[in-house]
Amino acid sequence: MIRRIESTLLLLCFGILAAMAQTRTITGLILDKADNLPIIGATVSVMTPQGKVATGTTTDLDGKFRLDVPVADRQLTCRFMGYTTVTLNLKNGQTDYTVYMESASKEMGELVVTGYQQIDRRKLTSAVTTVKMSDEIIGGINSIDQALAGQIAGLSSVTSSGAPGAPVKLRIRGIASMNGTQEPLWVLDGIPLEGTEIPSMEDLQDIDNIYQTSIAGINPQDIESITVLKDAAATAIYGARAANGVIVITTKNGKVGKPQINFSMKLTYNPKTDIDRLNLLNSDEKVDLELGLLQSDYTYRENKGDVARILAGYGLTDAYKTGGWNALTPEAQADINALRDINTDWNDILFRDVFNQEYNVSLSGGSEKATYYSALGYYVEQGNVEGVKNDRFNLTLKTNYRINSKLKVGASVFANRRKQRSYLTYGDGFTNPVYYSRIANSYLRPFDENGNYIYDVNVQHSKGDDVADFNIFEERANTSNINTTTSVMSIFDAELKLDEHFKITSQFGLQWDEGTIEKYAGENSYAMRREKEQHVYAYSDGTRTILPDGGSNKITDSHQTQWTWKAMAEYQNRFKDIHDLELMVGTEIRHNEYKSLYSAVYGYNAMTLTSVPIVFPTERMAESVPLHTETFTENAFASWFATGSYTLLHRYTIGGSIRLDGSDIFGVAKKYRYLPLYSVSGLWRISDEPFMKNVTAIDNWGIRASYGLQGNIDKNTSPYLLGRYVQTTILPDHPEDAIRPDNAPNPDLRWEKTQNVNIGMDISLWDNAVSLNVDYYYRKGTDLIGMRMLPLETGYTSTNVNWASMENKGVEVALTTRNIHTKDFTWFTNLNFGFNDNTVLRETVAENSLTPSREGYPVGAIFAYRTAGLDENGYLLYLTPDGQKLPAKEYFQLNSAGASSLSAEERRNQLVYVGNTEPKVSGGFTNTFKYQRITLNINCIFNFGMHVQTQPSYSLTNYDRGLNTNHDILNRWTPDNPNGTFPRLLNSTDRPEEYAFYDNYNVLSMLDIYVKKQNYFRFQSIRLAYDLPEKWLKPIGIRNASVSLEGRDLWVIASDYHNFLDPETMGNPYATPIPKSFIFGLNVNF
């Protein structure tokens, strides 16, 4: 990865030796092969046989050169930093040449941007990976978090949902902490971003909660490169926020030269997802299931399902139960059989094929005094679920000025406006279309012959929801949920170079995010009916809702502001040509504010924008319908930091950094306000040793080592009782203030600390044909903070405690090879993977805990009860350690109330370790083939060694026969199907203890049979690009252009994911599956 450096000092020699011999004038143009842009400042020279420069020049702003060459010389050498040197053979009679130069490496050049500094890669002591953004990497994606999947060893990514704009969960080097965020810190051109946290998986299940992080606002097209800081040596300078790693985004700058106009366009086609994999029951099977259940002793929700409803309509329920099918009248039989003929394909009518678009145009250029880059971007993505849409409009303006030889200033503005549209799905899971498509019976029609909505009375089951009519198409038509975000990020920076050793830089960044979430429910919607039903009052003339007729509109406005100011003084010097010293000290202050305002109106008419005031009959009723809520929080931080490095003989480097963070965090004990975080590190560049001089195969070889301390404190738990003000009215007309202590105080809470060791090696061979980076890391976290369930007698359900210590060991390998390199054909391969081994070293398990200690197991350990099939009556059997098979009553020692009378410790001992939720190995595998103008890119990602706890296919006590389900239920034990492999449905009389146990305690999902392996290898992207020949383009004024065709997420090879759509989203039945997409791209440069 560290390439051979072509010293530009060679330039100093040029021209002096201007040949006395006869010369001719050669002119030419040097272009970058990747983007056909001119290369400015490339050296063109005539070399002596001894390898010295005889004569030479550099290219101008247009990439052109003119050089007088002795007639005898037949070759020119073209060099440019970061590019592979090209030897140009001169032909007789030709004096004008076009030379294409190719980037020497797939990675960035010499300077590594850490956000605080730019470090010479030859002095880099820490584990840092940089990815240069290219068309291949960006491909069909619209958000940068998606672009990182499979690109960087040690960075794992999990797609939370296939919905438009859904965020991606990124983890760097496994899980370091259990408390709070595990998200890396994102930094844009030196300024850390706010609002990058992704909601938990539970919140994502509620698709009402449409959500985007501030990352989603950044247009990938504006990005030059992304640097991921992995070890403590790199991240310590960012302080406590960087415990999960740092992702530094560097955006594009204008380059000195002629104005460049770039236009790009992408058209994407997403076919609808096929849900056949779910193995749902068809109408015939479902009718048979309902008929069978009615004759069985399973009585839960006996009135649900259309079969029960038809029988009840004819008054034949009891007749059927005793007499069976033949006891029914022909009319009843005909009605039931009619259900079998209806086969509504919910997948077909709820989902759709979509066509999406993206356009970007940028203008850049500049002179020695100033450069500029400005860009506009627009993209729109429609969801496979109709009515779901996401769009984004971007504006980027960047300028840099060189005021004089000492002072440089820059200003940039990143603005975007994005809008996510969906419809309201209320709180009830069944209104989520993805989930609904799985539970709606196929014998149900959504519309009658006249096109009127038919309400689904089977899916409803939670408290009171069955009194409100529900039809998913009506819901889609009459509700909306729109999240609009306007975001502006502005960065100003200045650099004052006092002399060649001393430099002061300062940067000010301002981030504004203004968001509006508007949730509208029309009068004719389930959401509105349901809400009305929830607010009823017994008036003297009858009971009815207190809400007026009409719809509702609920708006949440949020304003987030942060500013960061930092100032740094840097000193660097070289003594006696062998001692390099670099020092930097700095300070940073940061302030953020978050404000939100919620407002609701009822009796709302979207056409007239009018609403009706609510007349509340009592104060208590008024409290239940809040119309206005506000929140406001404010935080301030001040930090000091310093780094230093010393390099001896250009090959031995030691470095260190320290940071002290102070914050206003209220209620945190003084002694916990500060914890210095620091790191020390070293680098040995073996390839620069004298004894390596003759080893020409090795271009670069270095060994790095670092140690650092990272830390974190829980900001929500205070040692003192900390409350917030609320309003309450206990007796009429007497509202009062009250103080609500939301969390139990914990005076014993300490900082959690993570020690971090990293040892790495970088080597590149044979003119960069092979470059390999290997890192070994060891992270040990002590006093880790985690949530512990409390006995409810404390008044709280949980609190945060220092619960454990844990270690992460891992190896990361990144291997880039140039397999074939000929004039017409090249083949590059990049393989990267991270191997992570996480072990909990110590975990204090509370006396009351039902789950065992994870000591010796990974933090993502899944524990399950060992089952041993079914007994002769279809009840689950459990396996004891000595091989006995016991029914639940004996195994759990159930009392008459269905509660286990075993002690917590005995319960813990029953659970056995069955797998880990985190991958053992994850990585990416990319192949790039180039044949003349054609490029083929195949990008794959993989995760191995993961397990997931899936939802049981059906509940033993609460399977609702009104809902559709998968085929597992047909394979359950029944008296007629004694060989069924799945447990029977239970009734409350045969084994009342077992019934109460399964009914009241969450045991079923903790059985080993529902834990699935999650290994997969995904063909993430296959992309074919073609660079159009210049001779076609030149006449129409186009410098260069390319077209591409890409297929994304076309295939996945995975361990068994039977009954699930995708191995990645097995744990979440509400998530929109990841769609396949086909993308056509066009890129034009003027």
Of 575 and 691, the one with the shorter C-beta distance to other proteins is: 575
Query: Which position among 740, 872, 881, 1035 is part of the footprint of other proteins (CB under 8 A)?
Result: 740
Q: Which is nearer to other proteins, 267 or 846 (CB)?
A: 846
Q: Which is nearer to other proteins, 563 or 1078 (CB)?
A: 563
Distant-in-sequence, close-in-space partners of 861: CB < 8 Å, separation ≥ 6? 840, 854, 913, 915, 916, 917
Which one of 337-345, 734-742, 764-772, 976-984 is the stretch in contact with other proteins (CB under 8 A)? Answer: 734-742
Residue 1054 beta carbon to other proteins: minimum distance, rounded to whole angstroms: 34
Contact letters for other proteins, residues 188-227 (x by CB under 8 A): ----------------------------------------
**Smaller CB distance to other proteins: residue 451 or 795?**
795
Applying CB under 8 A, which part among 134-142, 675-683, 713-721, 1035-1043 lies near other proteins? 713-721
Token pair in block for residue 914: 């069955």
* In the complex, minimum distance from the CB of residue 904 to other proteins, in angstroms, rounded to a whole number: 4
Report residue 945 CA to chain centroid gap.
20
Among 18, 648, 820, 897, binds other proteins (CB under 8 A): 897
> Contacting other proteins (CB under 8 A), which of 87, 98, 452, 633?
633
Q: Is 729 in the site for other proteins (CB under 8 A)?
A: yes
Q: Is 308 strand, coil or helix?
A: helix
- Which one of residues 337, 573, 610, 909 is an interface residue with other proteins (CB under 8 A)? 573
Residue ranges with strand state E in 80-127: 86-89, 96-101, 111-113, 118-120
Scanning 347-355, 702-710, 743-751, 976-984 for contacts with other proteins by CB under 8 A, the matching segment is: 743-751
Q: What string marks each residue from 826 to 855 as x (binds other proteins by CB under 8 A) or -?
A: --------------------xxx-x-----
Q: Provide φ and ψ at 898, rounded to 5°.
A: 80, 10
Out of 276, 341, 448, 737, the only residue in the binding site for other proteins (CB under 8 A) is 737
DSSP per residue over 773-822, as a string?
Answer: EEEEEEEEEEEEEEEEEPPGGGS-SEEEEEEEEEEEEEEEEEEEEEEEE-
Burial readout 941-950 (b: 16 or more C-beta within 10 A, e: otherwise): bbbbbbbbbb
Nearer to other proteins, 744 or 813 (CB): 744
Name the token pair of 335: 């009605």
Residues within window 506-565 making contact with other proteins, judged by CB under 8 A: 533, 536-538, 543
Classify strands 185-188 and 246-251 as parallel, antiparallel or unpaired: parallel
Residue closer to other proteins (CB basis): 256 or 722: 722
DSSP per residue, 973-1000: -BTTBTT-SBPPP--TTTSHHHHHHHHH
Among 716, 728, 884, 971, binds other proteins (CB under 8 A): 728
**Is residue 664 at the binding interface for other proteins, with CB under 8 A as the rule?**
yes
**List of E strands, 190-343:** 191-192, 223-229, 246-251, 257-270
In the complex, the smallest distance separating the C-beta of residue 775 from other proteins, rounded to whole angstroms, is 33
Nearer to other proteins by Cβ, of 342 and 899: the residue is: 899
Is 791 or 856 the residue whose CB approaches other proteins more closely? Answer: 791
DSSP string, 233-253: HHHGGGGGGGTT-EEEEEE--
CA 18 to chain centre: 59
901 interacts with other proteins by CB under 8 A: yes
Looking at the Cβ atoms of 277 and 591, the one nearer to other proteins is: 591
Q: How far is the CB of 723 from other proteins (least distance, A)?
A: 6
DSSP H or E run through 701:
strand 698-712
Q: How far is the CB of 992 from other proteins (least distance, A)?
A: 7
Q: Confirm or reject binding of residue 739 to other proteins (CB under 8 A).
A: yes
State the Cα–Cα distance between residues 365 and 384, nearest whole angstrom: 40
Instruction: Please list every residue from 985 through 1014 that binds other proteins, using CB under 8 A.
Output: 988, 992, 995-996, 999-1002
Contact set for other proteins, span 582-601 (CB under 8 A): 583, 585, 587, 589, 591
Q: Which of residues 371-410 bind other proteins (CB under 8 A)?
A: none
**477: nearest Cα among 537, 539, 528:** 528
Of 720, 766, 825, 1051, the one binding other proteins (CB under 8 A) is 720
Element (H, E) at 623: helix 619-624
Q: How many Cα atoms within 13 Å fall on the side-chain side of residue 452?
A: 4
Provide the minimum distance between the beta carbon of 280 and other proteins in the complex, in angstroms, as a whole number: 23
Identify which of residues 347 and 506 has a Cβ nearer to other proteins in the complex: 506
Angle between helices 330-341 and 283-295 (to 10 degrees): 140
- Of 358 and 570, CB closest to other proteins: 570
Give least dist CB 725 to other proteins, A: 5
Q: Is 640 in the site for other proteins (CB under 8 A)?
A: yes
Residue 738 sits in the site that holds other proteins (CB under 8 A)? yes
Contact 391, 356 (CB under 8 A): no
297 contributes a contact to other proteins by CB under 8 A: no
Residue choice 309, 352, 907, 1013 for contact with other proteins (CB under 8 A): 907
If you write DSSP's letter for every residue of 989-1058 in order, what string do you get?
A: TTSHHHHHHHHHS--GGGBGGGEEEEEEEEEEEEEEEEEPPHHHHGGGT-SEEEEEEEEEEEEEEES--T
Q: Is 730 in the site for other proteins (CB under 8 A)?
A: yes
Residue number with CB closer to other proteins (22 or 1002): 1002
Complex with other proteins: residue 542 or 1035, whichever CB lies closer:
542
Q: Phi and psi of 333, rounded to 5°?
A: -60, -40
Question: Residues of 256-290 as b/e, b for ≥16 C-beta within 10 angstroms?
Answer: ebeebebebebebebebbebeebebbebebbbebb
Which residue from 221, 647, 782, 799 is in contact with other proteins, where contact means CB under 8 A? 799
For residue 92, the SS3 value is coil
Nearer to other proteins, 498 or 697 (CB): 498
Residue number, 7 or 303, with CB nearest to other proteins: 303
Q: In the numeric block, which tokens belong to residue 581?
A: 């010293």
Contacting other proteins within 442-501 (CB under 8 A):
461-464, 466-467, 498, 501
State which of residues 61, 370, 770, 790 lies at the interface with other proteins (CB under 8 A). Answer: 790
Residue 903 contacts other proteins per CB under 8 A:
yes
Which of 20, 615, 792, 1036 is the binder for other proteins (CB under 8 A)?
792
Pick the closer one to other proteins by CB: 353 or 634.
634
Pick from 161, 663, 782, 916 the residue near other proteins by CB under 8 A. 663
Alpha carbon distance 658, 238 (integer Å): 9
List 722, 811, 936, 1043, residue binding other proteins (CB under 8 A): 722
Distance of CA 845 to the CA centre of its chain: 31
Distance CA 351, CA 273 (A): 8
621 lies in the site for other proteins, by CB under 8 A: yes
For residue 638, state whether it binds other proteins (rule: CB under 8 A): yes
449 vs 737, beta carbon nearer other proteins: 737
- DSSP-derived letter for residue 133 is -
**For residue 311, what are its two tokens?**
């029988």
Contact 1022, 1047 (CB under 8 A): yes
Q: How far is the CB of 240 from other proteins (least distance, A)?
A: 15
Handedness of CA 1027, 1029, 1034, 1035 (dihedral sign): negative
> Contact at 8 Å (CB) between 84 and 104?
yes
